[in-house]
Amino acid sequence: MVNAESFVYVTDMVPIPMRSENKIQNSPSNLIKMLDSGTKLEILATEDGWTKVKFEQTIGWIISRYLTSNEPARVQLEALKRSNNNNQLSLSKKNDRNKELEKQVADLKAKNAELSIQSGKLESEKEHVKQVYKDALKLEYKNKNLKKQTLQLKAELKLLQNNNTVGQEASARNWFIVGALVLFFGFMTGFIFQKRTNQRRF
């Protein structure tokens, strides 16, 4: 008897027969099934060059020299091939992912360059807006001064108009007085001249 849960593998390059008894019997045949190289079996017992094994739910006997405690090289090679294929597939996926990431990086670099250009334009526009704002403040200040000057000129003009009106009224009064005086002196002169003329006659 052997320890529980001990395992062996079918060796050789050809399928090995599993029999119901620990002997070769052909008529009638005690062959249960053929097991391929590398098939993993659970050991149940050993006896006279035979090993009692369990495969899945089937129990039978196999000649011990066809069993090995190590996986056959062919099985290991197939496992390595499968592992290599999986690694190649994983590597291919990683390469594809790497290309995708490189493309994303290139796109991000392009976007970053575009954003840098836009940032430069925005900075230039910002400076232009600042200058326009400064110019607008200067113009507003000048406009306020011009409004003040305009109000002052209007006030001065109004004052001059008032003074001109007063002057015109004074001039008209003066001319009236002068005219009245001239008329008065003319009348007086005429009266005196006539009186003297009359005195000479008499």
Q: What is the mean pLDDT of each run of 10 residues along the chain (202 residues)?
A: 66 83 89 90 92 93 89 74 90 91 93 90 90 90 90 89 79 78 80 72 59
State the Cα–Cα distance between residues 119 and 160, nearest whole angstrom. Answer: 60
Tell me if 41 sits within 8 A of 55, measured CB to CB.
yes
φ, ψ for residue 36, nearest 5 deg: -75, 160
Q: Which helix (H) or strand (E) holds 120?
A: helix 73-201
- The CA distance from 113 to 103, in Å, is 15
Q: What is the pTM of this model?
A: 0.39
Cβ neighbour number for residue 161 with a 10 Å cutoff? 10
Cβ-based neighbours of 33, under 8 Å, separated by 6 or more: 17, 18, 55, 58, 60
- What pLDDT was estimated at residue 1? 45
Write out the two tokens for 122.
């925005």
For residue 55, what pLDDT is reported?
Answer: 93
pLDDT value at position 194?
74
List the structure tokens of 29. 């045949």
